[in-house]
Amino acid sequence: MLRSGILSLDPRLSGRAKSFLDNAHAQGQQVAVSAVSFVEMVYLIEKGRIPPQRFGQLAGLVSGGGTLFVEVPLDLKIARALARVDVSQIPDMPDRIIAATALHLDVPLISRDGKIQLSSLTTLW
């Protein structure tokens, strides 16, 4: 199920990111998905940059209970962590919120975004 369900979400997913997800799944860990990621997905669907079914696939995985992915809501703690994200490195607000979520949780960020990868955040891709 991991290969056909999770990893089919984005065929552009790197080998390193796939390995990370496989290892997290094998160890019974969870992978955080910032709530703002869902908002950004709607925007990208409207712009024609990702297929509409991607939203439903990820939403289904997150809401499935006991799955690898867990939604992390935007809250005051993440808003405070936003001050630790260098706006000159990551200027886009949704990306900054996602980065702040990773900083708050003290976890690496899985991202193919070049600006995020060049930032001081720990990223996987």
Question: Using one digit for the tens of pLDDT, what is the confidence trace for 40-87?
Answer: 999 999 999 989 998 998 898 898 776 789 999 999 999 999 999 999
Dihedral of CA 6/17/47/50: which sign?
negative
> Does CATH number 3.40.1190.20 belong to domain 2-124?
no
pLDDT, averaged across the chain = 88
Q: pTM score, two decimals?
A: 0.84
* Nearest alpha-carbon partner for 79 in 62, 43, 103: 103
List, as own/partner pairs, every contact residues 111-114 make where C-beta atoms lie below 8 angstroms and the sequence separation is at least 24, other chains included.
112/12, 112/14
Q: Looking at the predicted structure, is the pLDDT value of residue 1 above 50? A: no
Give helix 93-105 / helix 35-46 axis angle, nearest 10°. 150
* Nearest alpha-carbon partner for 34 in 78, 86, 90: 78
The domain locations on the chain are 2-124
